[in-house]
Amino acid sequence: MDPKSLLLTTALRRRISEPNVEAGFRCFNAVAGQEMDYKAFCEAVAECVRKRLIHEPVRLPEGALQCHWHLELTPKGVEAARSAMTAGERNDQGGR
């Protein structure tokens, strides 16, 4: 699966909230089911933000003293993730 699709499908299954991007990356790799390198991860996040598939990942929650890093899909991202999962299932079945 390409990095963007892996990011989207992982975010569909699990919302990630960590203190910083490095911890978010480690958590992502732990739950994604396959390892992604840091550069590909950052590029996938940037592309998804540009295409408005995920919300801006760095946020200052109300009452917090520091920013946190979140991986959370937008409604458009949910649709893209579901399409990627469906395409992945078709590929797993040999294109049927």
**pLDDT (tens digit, 9 = 90+) per residue, 69-90?**
999 999 999 999 999 988 766 5
* Tokens 């499908």 belong to residue: 9
With cut-offs at 50, 70 and 90, classify the pLDDT of residue 92: low
The predicted model scores a pTM of 0.84
Q: What is the DSSP-derived secondary structure letter of residue 67?
A: -
Considering the four listed CATH numbers 2.70.170.10, 1.10.10.10, 1.10.150.120, 3.40.47.10, the one that applies to the domain covering 3-87 is 1.10.10.10
Kindly state the tokens that stand for 17: 């909230």
DSSP string across 14-50:
--EEESSHHHHHHHHHHHHSS---HHHHHHHHHHHHH
**pLDDT (tens digit, 9 = 90+) per residue, 43-59?**
999 999 999 999 999 87
